[in-house]
């Protein structure tokens, strides 16, 4: 394919009929062909009365989709499972004996995040036990709010841990495939 010279393009533009070069903008053409009898419907305005409101108890209760007793039990099982492992045992349980490049660094980050998960879980468990033992409804409400915050932090730490697990599995898989 031959390159088009600048001179050829200039000659083409010079001989291009002026009617083609000076067509009106597309928007103006669209306005001309638009039917005149089209009705514009009014936009609906939503007021405060149109929106359903939730009270703070509904938001708190919906944040925990699982029975709190089950959640406490599952959290305790996770703490028991993770807390007594060395960094090498923890990483071997995820990627086996795979020695992918950067494994030592990943293993250290995984163990550090595991420690954050365990700490957040212990905090959530402590707050949950306080919520169960509190007697007045105000004390229970305050403890429940604190418990939800602690569980939220625990969930965040667990997500970060799971991302590190996925990262290790991915790196181990890539290294195995490249060998």
Q: What is the per-residue pLDDT across 126-140, written as a single tens digit (0 to 9) for each?
A: 887 777 776 678 887
- Residue 2 counted as domain residue: no
- Residue 56 counted as domain residue: no
pLDDT level of residue 141 (50, 70, 90 thresholds): confident
What range defines the domain where residue 170 resides? 64-178
pLDDT level of residue 73 (50, 70, 90 thresholds): confident
Tally of domains in the chain:
1
- Residue 110 counted as domain residue: yes
pLDDT level of residue 45 (50, 70, 90 thresholds): low
- Residue 153 counted as domain residue: yes
- Residue 52 counted as domain residue: no
How would you classify residue 102: left for phi > 0, otherwise alpha for psi between -120 and 50, otherwise beta?
left
Q: For tokens 């409101």, name the residue.
A: 53
- Residue 145 counted as domain residue: yes
- Residue 102 counted as domain residue: yes
Q: Is the pTM of this model over 0.85?
A: no
- Residue 44 counted as domain residue: no
Residue 48: predicted pLDDT: 62
Rounded to the nearest integer, the mean pLDDT of the chain is 76
The answer for residues whose C-beta is within 8 angstroms of residue 127's C-beta and 6 or more apart is 143, 146, 147, 150
């Amino acid at each position: 394919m031959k390159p088009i010279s600048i001179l050829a393009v200039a000659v083409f533009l010079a001989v291009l009929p002026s009617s083609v070069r000076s067509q009106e903008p597309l928007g103006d053409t669209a306005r001309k062909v638009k039917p005149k009898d089209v009705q514009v419907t009014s936009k609906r305005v939503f007021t405060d009365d149109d929106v359903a409101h939730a009270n703070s108890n509904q938001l708190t209760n919906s944040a925990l989709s699982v029975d709190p007793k089950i959640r406490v039990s599952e959290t305790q099982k996770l703490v028991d499972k993770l807390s007594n492992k060395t960094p090498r045992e923890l990483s071997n349980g995820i990627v086996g004996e795979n020695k992918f490049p950067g494994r030592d660094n990943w293993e250290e980050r995984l163990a550090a995040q595991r420690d954050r998960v365990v700490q957040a879980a212990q905090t959530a468990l402590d707050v949950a036990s306080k919520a169960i033992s509190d007697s007045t409804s105000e004390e229970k409400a305050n403890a429940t709010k604190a418990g939800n915050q602690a569980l939220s932090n625990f969930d965040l730490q667990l997500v970060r841990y799971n991302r590190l697990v996925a990262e290790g599995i991915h790196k181990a898989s890539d290294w195995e495939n490249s060998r």
